[in-house]
Amino acid sequence: MTLTSPHLGSSEAWTDARLLYALEEVVEKELNRHLKVVKDWMPHEYVPWSDGRNFPGLFEDGEAWEPQQSKVTDIGKIALVVNLLTEDNLPSYHHEIATLFGRDGAWGTWVHRWTAEEGRHGIVMRDYLLASRAVDPDKLEQFRMSHMSEGFESDNRHSMLHSVAYVAFQELATRISHRNTGHQSGDPVCDRMLARIATDENLHMVFYRNLLGAAFELAPDLTMQAVRDVVVNFRMPGHGMPGFERAAAQMAIGEIYNLRIHHDDVLQPVLRFLKVLEIDGLGPEGLKAQEELGLYMGGLDSEASKFDEKLAARKARMAARGR
């Protein structure tokens, strides 16, 4: 580490600036590891261009979009729009992390590399949706304009540590959402495209997860409090888009992203890998945060079990009706 504190558990010992400096070597190490394992890929190679045809507008032969033209399931359409609109806000995300992490040194190199990789996701998803006529293109653009015009401010923009903790979970949540959307889309082309995107998101998660682990070594009390705050108040970055609550409810029922998935496939893997609930030697505030985190996870598991029961009952009712 570049900088150490005389008392790792002391909250007063650390500021965002000192932590950024202290973690610079870890960022450089993780950036180099990332660049060795990440694979460049071409968005245009995942798009079914031969399915495309003109829409009305400048072209006399333009064909209006009709729902029956889509090969994608109803839940797939909903999730694809939510996932794409989330990716569309990349300019706001870049501005926020560049402001928090800086544009110089290893931090800056990572910020720009991450942004470039994330940019591919929006490109390939929009090209796929338009070429395959998976969703209404006019509504998609109207949603994009509405969502981006509102801008984006993270719940964790006040703290570098909170932001690192958030993205460690959020990148995994995005991976899971993309992967499950592909499985539920009903279109093998869509499934392959989203699997490619999910691979990137997983690598991004590993970067931030490892960085979070290093933060625990430096400032365990502050990091524990940040993780507690982020987990308890977690919201996906697309929460401000038009109709998000309804779409999220449908995605939960469709088993793309729900409480059980959030608990088992997003929160638990990161917490377990970093052994967050097993860390000892914490000060009073860190210990309190750890205990509160454990209680929250237990409560979330109970809520997820209730959701599982309701979902199973719903499936049974639908099966009985022959649907």
Residues annotated in a binding site: 87, 118, 121, 171, 201, 204
Residue 147: name the closest of 236, 84, 197, 75 by CA. Answer: 84
Which whole-number Å values give the CA distances from 314 to 177, 214, 308, 319, in the listed order? 22, 44, 10, 9
Using CA atoms of 130, 132, 137, 141 in order, give the dihedral in degrees to the nearest 10: -40
Q: How many Å apart are CA 219 and CA 217, to the nearest integer? A: 6
Q: Which residue has the tokens 């088992």?
A: 264
Per-residue CA distances from 92 to 96, 99, 178 (Å): 6, 11, 20
Question: What is the distance in angstroms between the CA of the first residue and the CA of the last residue of the chain?
Answer: 59
Give the residue ranges of the annotated binding site for Fe cation: 87, 118, 121, 171, 201, 204
CB 180 within 8 A of CB 257: yes
68: which residues sit within 8 A by CB, 6+ positions away? none
Residue whose C-alpha is closest to residue 165's, from 118, 202, 218, 209:
209
3-state SS assignment for residue 52:
coil
Query: Under DSSP, is residue 56 helix (H, G, I), strand (E, B) or coil?
Result: strand
In Å, how far are 120, 167, 276 from 133, measured between CA atoms?
20, 32, 45
